[in-house]
Amino acid sequence: MSGPTHETPAIAVNGLECRYGHAVVLSGVSFAVRRGEIFFVIGGSGCGKSTLLRNLIGLHEPAAGTVKFFGESLADAGDARRRELLQTFGVLYQGGALWSSLTLRENVALPLEEYTPLTAAERDELVALKLAQVGLTGYGDHYPAELSGGMRKRAGLARALALDPDIVFFDEPSAGLDPLTSRSLDELIRQLRDTLGTTCVVVSHELASIFALADRVLMLDRTAKGVIAEGNPHELAKDGADGRVRAFLTRGENQP
Q: What are the residues binding other proteins (CB under 8 A)?
A: 1, 3-4, 6, 8, 35, 69-72, 84-85, 87-88, 100-101, 112, 115-118, 122, 124-126, 128-129, 131-133, 137-138, 140-141, 143-145, 163-164, 166, 195-197
- Minimum separation from the CB atom of position 48 to other proteins (A): 24
End-to-end CA distance of the chain: 56
- Minimum separation from the CB atom of position 70 to other proteins (A): 3
- Minimum separation from the CB atom of position 3 to other proteins (A): 5
Quick check: 2 and 25 in contact, CB under 8 A?
no
Quick check: 96 and 155 in contact, CB under 8 A?
yes
- Minimum separation from the CB atom of position 120 to other proteins (A): 13
Quick check: 81 and 31 in contact, CB under 8 A?
no
- Residue 164 or 178 having the CB closest to other proteins: 164
- Minimum separation from the CB atom of position 14 to other proteins (A): 17
**Strand partners for 220:** 227
Quick check: 25 and 51 in contact, CB under 8 A?
yes
- Residue 3 or 256 having the CB closest to other proteins: 3
- Residue 141 or 235 having the CB closest to other proteins: 141
CB neighbour class for 250 (10 Å; exposed up to 12, middle 13-18, buried from 19): middle
- Residue 13 or 131 having the CB closest to other proteins: 131
- Minimum separation from the CB atom of position 22 to other proteins (A): 29
- Residue 21 or 117 having the CB closest to other proteins: 117
- Distance CA(135)–CA(241), nearest Å, equals 42
User: Cα 3 to the chain's mean position, in Å?
Assistant: 25
Category of 167 on φ-ψ map: left (φ > 0), alpha (ψ -120 to 50) or beta: beta
- Residue 68 or 225 having the CB closest to other proteins: 68
| Strands ordered across the beta sheet of 23-33 | 23-33, 11-20, 64-69, 72-73
